[in-house]
Chains A and B, each alone.
Chain A
């Protein structure tokens, strides 16, 4: 079995009208054995920028610790919050540093730029950035997520509608993947607030 499918899990990010959303499942397992229903895959950089990491559990945790340190150092040195495009470059170069012995993790980054323009992007495990216009997916059920997102997404969704759209995309995609699911969490980021919701989904 591929190392990227050892622990399981998936993420999706979507753009809306002056808002973005990111969702992940909560399963952590070792191949076919499911172990935990509250694995944290999404992390906040600040209240306008969130990212998620899919793939091998240990690298998700190692990378999140690395990025926390890098961003803290950035904040201390620059005395300002890091911009989404800058953070994306930071993530990309951190991953490419290990080009010939990579971290087995593929990130999704969502946030609002300084002028409240929505920003989303995803990367492969060696840091190739995909600046998408609509949605980004990653993880063991990425193909299912691509299908759901393509069918449900439309441009300029308001925060509440974006929440419904991303939630349905996540819930139905993971139900077709044995290694994903076991709960889901969604963050919707708007210029004024971040709303976090836990979804009620199938726990099988």
Chain B
């Protein structure tokens, strides 16, 4: 019942995750942050198996940070996505594979060019202009097919995201009352309404 949505705009990536943390029929909390900052310009969102989602996200976060410490330069979004895919692919055929679906959003620090990578728990990775994980895909991908353009401003992207939320509220049986929305751009990562 968890949902991740990502939209690339002119010079930013808009990423959102629902904030519900639930087990079976019980909602444990409504302010869960399913994102992890990998470096100044890259954000990882994870959903999936209980425990795996957080463990995997923090494992990747720490290794990306370690690279930056060792080498003095941050990794690009493409490199982060490739590294993350490699880790997931290696774990896939091991005794206990991570069952985590992710979105990685980032911008090039110099040019501001946005990139968004989708990867499922089988470690098939794709760069996409907009992407979703979870049941939301079945509802929201079509909405974004219709209204997304390559040069969206932040306000337009936020409006498109609102269309997606409205679609889910109307047609998705799962109740997702709140979302955490983050923007990644040249300035860094920040939370918006």
A and B physically associate: yes
A interface residues (Cβ-Cβ under 8 A, vs B): 6-7, 28, 30, 33, 35-36, 39, 56-58, 60-62, 65, 101
- B6-23 residues with Cβ-Cβ distance < 8 A to A are none
Dominant SS at the A interface? mixed
Given contacts A35-B141, A101-B93, contact A61 B128 (CB under 8 A): no
Shortest Cβ distance from residue A26 to the other chain B in the assembled complex, whole angstroms: 11
Q: Are B120 and A61 in contact (CB under 8 A)?
A: no
Q: Are A57 and B124 in contact (CB under 8 A)?
A: yes
Q: Are B137 and A33 in contact (CB under 8 A)?
A: yes
Q: Please, which residues of chain B bring their CB within 8 A of the CB of A101?
A: 93
Q: Please, which residues of chain B bring their CB within 8 A of the CB of A62?
A: 89, 123
Extra pairs beyond A6-B122, A7-B124 (18, CB < 8 Å):
A28-B124, A30-B137, A35-B126, A35-B131, A35-B141, A36-B118, A36-B126, A36-B128, A39-B126, A56-B122, A57-B122, A57-B124, A58-B89, A58-B124, A60-B124, A61-B124, A62-B123, A65-B86
B85 within 8 A of A: yes
Q: Are A61 and B123 in contact (CB under 8 A)?
A: yes
A15 to B124, CA, bound (A): 31
Q: Please tell me the number of chain B residues within 8 Å of chain A, measured between CB atoms.
A: 17
Residue of A whose beta carbon sits closest to that of B137: A33
Q: Please, which residues of chain A bring their CB within 8 A of the CB of B141?
A: 33, 35
Q: Are B92 and A58 in contact (CB under 8 A)?
A: yes
B138 within 8 A of A: yes
Most A CB contacts (10 A, CB to CB) among B92, B124, B141 go to B124
Q: Are A33 and B138 in contact (CB under 8 A)?
A: yes
Shortest Cβ distance from residue A84 to the other chain B in the assembled complex, whole angstroms: 27
Residue of A whose beta carbon sits closest to that of B125: A61
A118 to B124, CA, bound (A): 32
Q: Are A58 and B122 in contact (CB under 8 A)?
A: yes
A28 to B137, CA, bound (A): 14
28 A–B contacts from the bound complex (CB under 8 Å): A7-B124, A28-B124, A28-B126, A30-B120, A30-B137, A33-B137, A33-B138, A33-B141, A35-B126, A35-B131, A35-B137, A36-B126, A36-B128, A39-B126, A56-B122, A56-B124, A57-B122, A57-B126, A58-B89, A58-B122, A58-B123, A60-B124, A61-B85, A61-B89, A61-B123, A61-B124, A62-B89, A101-B93
Shortest Cβ distance from residue A93 to the other chain B in the assembled complex, whole angstroms: 18
Shortest Cβ distance from residue A80 to the other chain B in the assembled complex, whole angstroms: 28
A60 to B125, CA, bound (A): 10
